[in-house]
Chains A and B, each alone.
Chain A
Amino acid sequence: MKLPRLFGKKRGHRRTGSEAWGSFAEGLFYLALVAAGLLFGGTVLTGAAGVGWPRLDANDSGVGRNWWLAILVLLIPGALLAFGGSGLVRILSGWGKSQERRAAGSGSVSLRDAMGHAADEAPGHPGVPTCDDLVNSPGTILRYRLPIESPESWTLLGLGLFAALWNAVVVVLAVGAGADLLRGRTDWLLLALLAGFVAIGIGGVVLFIRMLVLTTAVGPTQVEISDHPLVPGGSYDMLIGQGGTGSLRSLELYLELEEFATFRQGTDTRTDRAVVWRESVKTWTDVPIAAGGRFETHVTLSIPPSAMHSFASEHNAVKWRVVVIGRPDRWPPFVRVFPLVIFPTDATAVADAALDQETLAAGGTA
Chain B
Amino acid sequence: MPQGSIAGGSQGSGSTAMPRVMVHFDRPGRDYAPRQQLAVRHDIEGLGGEPLRAVERSVLWYTEGKGEEDLGVHWFERIDETEGLPAVCPWGEFTIRLPMSPLSYEGLIVKVRWCVRVRIFFADNRDFVSEHVFDVGGISPARAPLERLE
A residues near B (Cβ < 8 Å) are 124-128, 254, 256-257, 259-264, 272-278, 304, 306-309, 311, 313-318, 323, 325, 335, 337, 343-345, 347-348, 350-351, 354-355, 358
Contact of A311 among B69, B105, B143, B150 (CB under 8 A): B105
Identify which of B70, B100, B149 contacts A254 (C-beta below 8 A). Answer: B149
Contacts of A354 in B (CB 8 A): 33, 36-37
Q: Given the complex, which residues of A lie within 8 Å of B99, measured CB to CB? A: 126
The closest CB in chain B to the CB of A258 belongs to: B148
Taken together as a complex, chains A and B put the C-alpha atoms of A263 and B102 apart, in Å, by 21
Contact B33 A347 (CB under 8 A): yes
| Cβ–Cβ contact B100 & A344, under 8 A | yes
Q: Roughly how many angstroms separate A257 CA and B147 CA in the complex, as a whole number? A: 12
Q: Which of B47-55, B107-115, B126-134 contacts A (4 or more CB under 8 A)?
A: B107-115
Residues from chain A with Cβ under 8 Å of B69 in the complex? 315
Among the stretches B3-11, B14-22, B58-66, B80-88, the one at the interface with A is B58-66
Contact A325 B105 (CB under 8 A): no
The answer to the question of B103 belonging to the interface, with a C-beta cut-off of 8 Å to chain A, is yes
Q: CB-CB < 8 A to B68: which residues of A?
A: 262-264, 314-316
| Residues of B with C-beta under 8 A to A126 | 61, 72, 74, 99-102
**In the complex, which residues of chain B have a beta carbon less than 8 angstroms from the beta carbon of A347?**
33-36, 100, 137
Q: Residue A351 contacts which of B34, B63, B72, B144 (CB distance < 8 angstroms)?
A: B34
Smallest Cβ distance from A135 to chain B, in angstroms?
19
Question: Is the beta-carbon distance between A313 and B109 smaller than 8 angstroms?
Answer: no
Task: Name the CB-closest residue of B to A265.
Answer: B68
Q: Please tell me if B13 contacts chain A, counting CB pairs below 8 Å.
A: no
Q: How many chain B residues have a CB neighbour from A under 8 Å?
A: 39
CA distance A102 to B69 in the complex (A): 22
A317-B110 contact, Cβ under 8 Å, with A264-B68, A309-B101: yes
- With A259-B65, A272-B109, A275-B148 given, name 8 new contacts (CB 8 A): A126-B102, A127-B102, A263-B68, A274-B109, A277-B143, A304-B140, A308-B139, A309-B102
Would you give 15 A-B contacts (Cβ < 8 Å), ordered by A?
Answer: A125-B101, A126-B72, A127-B72, A257-B142, A259-B142, A260-B110, A261-B66, A263-B67, A274-B109, A306-B138, A311-B110, A344-B34, A344-B103, A344-B137, A345-B34
Is chain B's interface secondary structure helix, strand, loop, or mixed overall?
Answer: loop
**Which of A261, A278, A344, A345 is in CB contact (< 8 Å) with B109?**
A261
If A127-B112, A263-B66, A337-B150 touch, does A276 touch B145 (CB 8 Å cutoff)?
A: yes
> Are B145 and A274 touching (Cβ within 8 A)?
yes
A276-B35 contact, Cβ under 8 Å, with A315-B67, A318-B107: no
Q: How far is the CB of A346 from chain B (nearest CB, A)?
A: 8
Closest chain A CB from B134 CB (angstroms)? 15
Chain A residues with Cβ below 8 Å from B36 are: 347, 350-351, 354-355
Known contacts A308-B105, A315-B70, A350 near B143 by CB under 8 Å: no
Bound form: Cα–Cα A277–B149 in Å: 12
Evaluate contact between B149 and A124: CB separation under 8 angstroms.
no
Min C-beta distance of B66 to chain A, whole Å = 4
Q: How far is the CA of A164 from the CA of B150 in the complex (A)?
A: 29
CB of A127 within 8 A of CB of B101, answer yes
The answer to whether B110 and A351 touch across the interface, beta carbons within 8 angstroms, is no
Q: In whole Å, how far is B112's beta carbon from the nearest beta carbon of chain A?
A: 6
Sorted nearest first, the 3 A-B pairs with minimum C-beta distance are A261-B67, A127-B102, A313-B70
Point out the residues of chain A lying under 8 angstroms from B70, CB to CB.
313-316
Q: Specify the chain A residue showing the minimal Cβ separation from B35.
A: A351
On whether the beta carbons of B107 and A355 are closer than 8 Å, the reply is no
In the bound complex, residues from chain B placing their C-beta under 8 Å from that of A351 are 33-36
A355 to B68: give the CA distance in the assembly, Å. Answer: 36
Question: Contact check: which of B37, B74, B110, B144 meets A316 at CB < 8 Å?
Answer: B110
Q: Please measure, in the bound complex, the distance between the C-alpha atom of A335 and the C-alpha atom of B74, giving whole angstroms.
A: 40
Residues B33 and A276 in contact, CB atoms below 8 Å apart = no
Which chain B residues lie closer than 8 Å to A344 at the CB level? Answer: 34, 100-103, 137
